Each structure stands twice: as structure tokens, then as C-alpha cells.
Amino acid sequence: MQRIDDANRQAMDRILSADPVLVDVIPAAEAIPTLQDRMILHAGPPVDWERMCGPMRGAVAGIAVFEGWAADLQEAEAMAGAGAFDFQPNHHFDAVGPMTGMTTAGQWVMVVENRRFGNRAYCTINEGLGKVMRFGGNDAEVLDRLRWLRDSFGPAMGRALRSGDGVPLKSLVARGLSMGDEMHQRNVACTGLMLRALAPALAATADDTAGLSKALAFIGGNDQFFLNIAMTMGKAIMDPVRGIDGSSLVTAMSRNGTDFGIRVSGTGDTWFTAPVEMPEGLYFPGFTEADANPDMGDSTIVETIGLGGFAMGAAPAVAGFVGAGSASDAANFTRAMGEITYGDNPEWSIPGLDYLGVPTGIDIRLVVETGLAPTINTGIAHREPGIGQVGAGVVRAPMACFEAALQAFAASVGVA
Amino acid sequence: MSENHVKSLLETPLKVVNIGLESFSEALVEQGVEVVHLDWIPPGGGDPKLADLLSKLE
């Protein structure tokens, strides 16, 4: 259908012509003026307290204590159950968040500006691995780290970024792909490249040597530091693709631990949801699949722009980490995703696949036609609140989301 | 197909391309038959309504 072809070409042009730049770190309340007191932004499509999974509830309780809304976790849970908090998806506020995805007014968020279209996207700073709030952790250690990010690291990173013209992300990601990152479960190269880009400005704008040293060690010691930047970049790239009449390309995939939701350009901001699936993966010592929570987080925005599971061929090491098999299996994941995408991104190529561009622009028609659901690389949270990450794996987006979206999309273009 | 072609087909080792249900290929592999399996399902997972929509949205 010519109308769909034209719309998808326009959508793909917007994806490929994006110019995302990491420009600042600022308080969430400043970045998102509509983020009110006692409002909690979470990952995924809308979900209320009654339907939230264990780690999401744990994170809600923790962030309520962090914000000073509750004296302790028990009081926070009681308040949540009594309707004291306004739960909203990050995606409705130009934001994204990994795993539980807690975003509240008192946290600091990274700002990525898409200079081609002028829009901005936001995400909190990656806390590190293990027992962290994004995986449902909420004890004193977790909250103290959030306070340090708010009081020290966030302001320092903001000063450093404002002292220059920001860090262009497209070229940095291109280098990261050639160094074995896929930007979802492997971010070690891009984290190193970002540290290299930020360190001089962090030093030049630092308050004190001890604080600088801690900030540098925090970035250098967290292989996933770049994940949240990649996600913010993904949101900044995809937001201008929303609402193109007649386009069948996916603009967001996201999960809240209960439901998986997708948005399609031609059907605007409607979520098409289905129950989340359970990742298949490898578990840290002492944990098994019985401990795992189902799929969760806004991080699937990286797959939406052709990275993560779609770029698995760039990152053979991650295939082993997530239990997806061999290097050739990793390449097959990328090639398979080429069956459900509009085209390749020539600026993000994979040397080991003869410089094949990452498969980009998920077309719901191709997903339903082939039966190939998007492949997602993901961390796995413990199903109980307060414990944290227990493993990493691969999961598929539920086909029911795409089938529902296809029917609504067909109606939107006058086909029934 | 001529009688000679049928005869030659039966006298040479089978080489099979299996499309769709993987269990068919597994049964042949167990009998020592060389099989290439093509992972395929009907458009729309076999749902006639989805298949109809897909054909109209091409």
C-alpha cells in the first residue's frame, strides 16, 4: 500500500537522521515540570499498585522512603495500597527507566537532546549491578547510593557536560558496536568511551579531589553505566517518529513486569499490551529460574532502535552471558531481526557481519507475517522485593501485542 | 514424472527440505535421512483474519 510505504519511509528517515547528544544532568523536577510531589513514574505501560510485580512494589516502597514521603518501607507500602501515590509510565513524560524504572522529582536525570528535531529525553543514572533499586532493591545501601547520585554525582556530571557542547552519541555507539557492545546487556566499551569523554571535564569542574576520584571510579567500575544513556538516546530518537499517519513501525516497546506494551507510529500513543514472558537465561550463583521475575523495564527502547538483541551479532560475548549460545547464534539473532525490520542502519554497522547495519524499524506487519517476535536481551530481577538482580537472559516480545496492534493499525488506514 | 525418474528417485539417497513442523524433520533425522529444516509458519500464525489483513496491508 503506497500510503504505508510513504509513511514508513518518512519514519525511517526520522530514525536515521536523528542526532542524539548527551547534554546535561539535572533534577527530574526541573526536566519534567509536570512531575508532581508523590508522583512516581515507572517502567512499562500503565499499571496500578494491585497489579505490580514484587520488585516493582519493592522499588516503589524504596523510592517513597528516599523522597521522604514515608518513614520506612512498611509505611510506604501501606501508603501505596491506600492510593497515596500517582503512578504514571515514564514514556508519558519523555522519559524511560531501566527495569522498575523509578523516576521521581527528587532524583537527577540525564538529558539527551535530539538536535535534528529539538526534542529531549530523560533517564536516571545507572546505579550499578546487583542489589539496586531498578531490580527492586530498597535497603539502606540502595537508598544511600541514590542520595549520593542526587547530592554529588549527578550535579558533578551536569557541571561537566554544561562546560562543553555535550557528548554526541551516534558516533560513540558506532564505535561501541565495533568494540563488542550491543548496548543492552553489554555496555563495557561505550562506558569506557564515555568515561574518556567525560573525565577531563569532570576534573576541570570538580569541587574536590575525593569527590572526583569517587565519580571516576563509579563510572569505571560499572560496566552498565552507559545503558541508561543508550536508553535516553533511544527515547530521544524514537519520540519524533510517533504519530506518523499510516506508519506501521514500532516507536516503543516496554514492560512493567506484569504487561508488555508496544506503541506504533500510525496509531499514536495507544499501548497494545499482553502479559510479559519469562526470560530464558543464566543465573548468578545461588539463584534459579524459580527466583526470577518476568520481563521488566523500559530498556527495550534500545531494541526499538536496532540495538540490544537486534545487534547481538556485534557482541558474541553477550550471547554467552545471557545464555543465548555461540557467536554464530548471536549472528543469527541479528539476521533474524532483519526479517521484521524496515531496513538497516548504515551508521551502526557490525564488522563481524561484513559491516551489516543493525536491523532498524520494527514493522508490525512483518512481525505478524513471519511469526518472529523481537528478541530482547535483558537483566533478570528476583521476583521478591528488596533482593535485586539474579541473572540475565533473552526474552521475546509477546506476539499478542503485535496482533492487536495490527488490527488497530488496519482500522487506522481504512482496512477491515 | 516418467517411470525412470521415479525409479532413480527411489534408488538415490533422499535429501529433504522440511518446511514448517520441525517434528517431521526430527523423525527423518532419526532414520538417518539428510534434512534441511526451514523454520516457517503461515502468515499471521495461521489465523485467517490476520492473514486477510496482512494481504490488504501489503
A75: CATH:
3.90.1710.10
Q: Is position A13 within any domain?
A: no
B21 interface with A at CB cutoff 8 Å:
no
Cβ <8 Å between A410 and B53: yes
At A259, give phi and psi (nearest 5°): -120, 150
Which residues of chain B does A4 touch, with a Cβ-Cβ cutoff of 8 Å?
57
Q: Is position A10 within any domain?
A: no
Distance CA A170, CA A165 (A): 15
Q: Is position A9 within any domain?
A: no
B36 interface with A at CB cutoff 8 Å:
no
Same-domain check for residues A192 and A53: yes
Query: Assign residue A177 a region: left if phi > 0, alpha if psi is -120 to 50, beta otherwise?
Result: alpha
Mean pLDDT of A59-75: 97
- Interface size A-B, in CB pairs within 8 Å, comes to 39
Domain boundaries, chain B: 3-56
Amino acid at A17: S
Which residues of chain A does B58 touch, with a Cβ-Cβ cutoff of 8 Å?
1, 365
In degrees, rounded to 5, the angle at the alpha carbon of residue A1 between the alpha carbons of residues A361 and A414 is 100
ipTM, 2 decimals? Answer: 0.86
pLDDT at residue B12 in the model: 83
Q: What percent of chain A has pLDDT over 90?
A: 88
Number of neighbouring beta carbons within 10 Å of residue A44: 31
Q: With 90 as the cut, is the pLDDT of residue A163 above it?
A: yes
Same-domain check for residues A344 and A367: yes
Centroid of chain to Cα B11: 21
Same-domain check for residues A318 and A179: no
Which CATH number do you get for residue A405?
A: 3.90.1700.10
Same-domain check for residues A42 and A148: yes
Q: Is position A97 within any domain?
A: yes
Helices (H), B1-58: 3-11, 22-30, 48-56
Cβ <8 Å between A410 and B44: no
Which residues of chain A does B53 touch, with a Cβ-Cβ cutoff of 8 Å?
406-407, 410, 415
Distance CA A413, CA A245 (A): 8
Same-domain check for residues A75 and A128: yes
pLDDT tens per residue, range A327-363: 898 999 999 999 999 999 999 999 999 999 999 999 9
Among chain B residues, CA nearest to A409:
B57
Same-domain check for residues A182 and A250: no
Same-domain check for residues A256 and A381: yes
At A310, give phi and psi (nearest 5°): -70, -25
Q: Is position A304 within any domain?
A: yes
Q: Are A98 and A126 in contact (CB under 8 A)?
A: yes
Distance from CA of B2 to the nearest CA of A (A): 37
* Domain with A314 in it: 242-412
Q: How do A108-114 and A272-275 pair as beta strands?
A: unpaired
B45 interface with A at CB cutoff 8 Å:
yes
Cβ <8 Å between A406 and B45: no
pLDDT tens per residue, range A85-132: 999 999 999 999 999 999 999 999 999 999 999 999 999 999 998 789
Q: For residue A188, what is the DSSP state?
A: H
Same-domain check for residues A56 and A204: yes
